[in-house]
């Protein structure tokens, strides 16, 4: 299927690895010129080189922390009027809420609520003028089914979900869609790091924890980032203008519900 995205431009945040990288690659394969951001310049450039080898579109990089004013300004300077915005940033740390400081809460709200809203604010009106825009927020399955140790994530991401629910319906008439993609367990550095944390506190092997996680899923595996990227590219496609304000859960069926 031709997704109708050739010559479009995309800003993909936090994309040197994992799900952000997969979204950038899937879009680039569809002919989208992509600007990717991440904090670690070397890793970002390595990823950009990989994407250039795999595709024939322009891949630009912006090194910086997307959760800061400077990081966002640099990203928007490099890609001021994207047709497509993929909001992503690292997830907040786990912990009992009694141990969390005011700073921990501010950091989580900044990274996973205020940063995506700031980037939407900076790019939305140009999309409306152009009569085409696609915004995807990478959130988490925690929005549908809270993860007890991730109170920061549960809270900040649910706030973003509420914001998107309202705004998306106001801009859909301009062929600008805003949707959230909710990953369950995907095979990325973050999944491994989380398993390493559990291994440390439980004295178990990381690989055993990952295998157990896969075995508990209806698919008997975790998701591959390429699968996530493909869904992201479709939601950004010319054919997806009638998908508005949705929360698309990709978790292999782990969330047990009838609808």
Pick between residue 190 and residue 239 the one whose CB is nearest to ligand NAD.
Answer: 190
Pick between residue 188 and residue 237 the one whose CB is nearest to ligand NAD.
Answer: 188
- Report the nearest approach of ligand NAD to the CB of residue 170 (Å): 26
Q: What is the DSSP string of 193-251?
A: HHHHHHHHHHT--HHHHHHHHHHHSTTSSPBPHHHHHHHHHHHHSGGGTT--S-EEEES
- Report the nearest approach of ligand NAD to the CB of residue 183 (Å): 4
Q: Cα torsion at 18, 19, 25, 30 (round to 10°)?
A: 170
Helix then strand then coil, % of the chain, to nearest 5: 50, 15, 30
CA 121 vs CA 22, 76, 81, 206, 236: distances in Å: 24, 11, 12, 41, 18
Using CA atoms, how far apart are residues 56 and 93, in angstroms rounded to an integer? 37
CA 139 vs CA 61, 158, 194: distances in Å: 23, 9, 17
Using CA atoms, how far apart are residues 213 and 35, in angstroms rounded to an integer? 33
- Per CB under 6 A, the segment of 4-12, 61-69, 120-128, 171-179 that binds ligand NAD is 61-69
Q: What is the DSSP letter of 14?
A: S
Pick between residue 25 and residue 171 the one whose CB is nearest to ligand NAD.
Answer: 25
Pick between residue 38 and residue 240 the one whose CB is nearest to ligand NAD.
Answer: 38
Q: Rule CB under 6 A: choose which of 70, 189, 205, 212 binds ligand NAD.
A: 189
- Report the nearest approach of ligand NAD to the CB of residue 47 (Å): 7
Q: Does 40 bind ligand NAD (CB under 6 A)?
A: yes
Task: Tell me the number of residues near ligand NAD by CB under 6 A.
Answer: 28
- List binders of ligand NAD among 111-140 (CB under 6 A): 138, 140
- Report the nearest approach of ligand NAD to the CB of residue 185 (Å): 5
- List binders of ligand NAD among 8-37 (CB under 6 A): 14-20, 37
CA angle, corner 128, sides to 126 and 131, nearest 5?
A: 110
Pick between residue 127 and residue 191 the one whose CB is nearest to ligand NAD.
Answer: 191
Using CA atoms, how far apart are residues 43 and 226, in angstroms rounded to an integer? 19
Binding mask 190-229 for ligand NAD (x = CB under 6 A): xx--------------------------------------
Helix (H, G, I), strand (E, B) or coil at 28: helix
Q: Does 174 bind ligand NAD (CB under 6 A)?
A: no
Instruction: Determine contact, residues 161/143, Cβ cutoff 8 Å.
Output: yes
- Report the nearest approach of ligand NAD to the CB of residue 225 (Å): 7
Q: Does 156 bind ligand NAD (CB under 6 A)?
A: no
Q: What is the DSSP letter of 143?
A: G
- Report the nearest approach of ligand NAD to the CB of residue 26 (Å): 13
Q: 227 Cβ partners below 8 Å, 6+ apart? A: 250
Residues lying near ligand NAD in the complex (CB under 6 A): 14-20, 37-40, 65-67, 88-91, 138, 140-141, 183, 185-186, 188-191
């Amino acid at each position: 299927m031709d997704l109708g995205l050739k010559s479009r431009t995309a800003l993909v945040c936090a994309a040197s690895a994992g799900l952000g990288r997969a979204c950038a690659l899937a879009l680039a394969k569809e002919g989208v010129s992509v600007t990717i951001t991440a904090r670690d310049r070397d890793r970002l450039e390595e990823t950009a080189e990989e994407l250039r080898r795999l595709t024939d579109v322009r891949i630009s990089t912006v090194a910086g922390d997307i959760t800061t004013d400077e990081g966002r300004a640099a990203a928007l300077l490099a890609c001021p009027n994207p047709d497509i915005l993929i909001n992503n940033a690292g997830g907040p740390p786990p912990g009992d809420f009694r141990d969390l400081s005011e700073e921990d809460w501010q950091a989580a709200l900044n990274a996973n609520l205020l940063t995506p809203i700031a980037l939407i604010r900076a790019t939305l009106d140009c999309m409306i003028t152009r009569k085409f825009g696609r915004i995807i927020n990478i959130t988490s399955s925690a929005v549908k089914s809270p993860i007890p140790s991730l109170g920061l994530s549960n809270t900040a991401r649910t706030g973003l979900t509420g914001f998107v629910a309202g705004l998306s319906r106001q801009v859909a008439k301009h062929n600008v869609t805003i949707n959230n993609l909710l990953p369950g367990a995907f095979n990325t550095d973050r999944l491994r790091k989380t398993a390493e944390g559990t291994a440390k506190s439980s004295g178990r092997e990381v690989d055993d924890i990952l295998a157990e996680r896969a075995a508990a899923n209806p698919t008997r595996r975790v998701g591959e980032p390429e699968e996530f990227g493909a869904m992201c590219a479709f939601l950004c496609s010319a054919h997806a203008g009638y998908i508005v304000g949705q929360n698309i859960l990709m978790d292999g069926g782990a969330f047990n519900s009838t609808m």
